[in-house]
Structure 1
């Protein structure tokens, strides 16, 4: 007799976590987190739709004594509540950095300052987000939050990360898969 088991999620790396209306932590209300690493040791991701009202990339470049490029710069994003003083660049992998975390075949994450220098000199990645901080979970913590219906997991989409307006990413990421996230909790049932 063969026993059927529910599929085990090996890793959520490269996926979206979309906060549901049941999210108990107000810091993650209407957030889209791009999961950068996930294993039995925990998880790490960055919020991709939370622009900072306090910092601009122009200021970051000026403070680093770097020139301001002619083309428009994206906003600085708050990647999460952990280590807000740490900067990360999430970028399309057609640009190559020496020190990077390859999340998917098309997306990488780095803290390498050379990327910021390349952005200042118009030779950096074409599509990127500059982030301060990240979201982190200890062993089993994210899985517990998933069971409590705080997050919806969906395949990530590069277009949502880089091309959709920040205030539309939460809704659009879910709508790609036919989910109206604003009514998500109204439809959950338990057997």
Structure 2
């Protein structure tokens, strides 16, 4: 991610974290997500994703200083609305 946040699957980084010589702040996650060619772009075009433009400082604050149970609401508040007002239906103007 531009501005300093990075993602990795490197075993070296995991070992560095375990020995205390890795990054001072990190978020470890496990999982899998895969898309076929063009699938993500299509989902974005169909309003399946909401993109939130954030500064480096905002990203770090949410990722590292906000409890995981509050991250969704905190991020959505930066768009200026309450997520409970969202509909499961997509539309186009």
Q: CA separation in 1, counterparts of 2:12 and 2:92?
A: 50
Q: Who is 2:71 aligned against?
A: 169
Higher Rg of the two aligned structures: 1
Between Structure 1 and Structure 2, which shows a larger proportion of strand residues? 1
Q: Who is 1:131 aligned against?
A: 29
Q: Number of residues paired by the alignment?
A: 88
2:13 pairs, out of 76, 97, 115, with: 115
Q: CA separation in 2, counterparts of 1:133 and 1:189?
A: 30
- Relative distance call for 1:117 and 1:190 in structure 2 (3 A) is closer
Q: CA separation in 2, counterparts of 1:150 and 1:183?
A: 16
CA RMSD of aligned residues (A): 2.2
SS at match of 2:16: helix
- Deviation for aligned residue 1:179: 2.4
Q: Who is 1:66 aligned against?
A: none
Gaps of 5+ in 2: none
1:151 pairs, out of 49, 57, 60, with: 49
Runs of 4+ in 1 over 3 A off after TM superposition: 188-191
- Deviation for aligned residue 1:128: 0.8
TM-score of the pair, normalised by structure 2: 0.75
Between Structure 1 and Structure 2, which shows a larger proportion of helix residues? 2
- Deviation for aligned residue 1:107: 0.8
TM-score of the pair, normalised by structure 1: 0.40
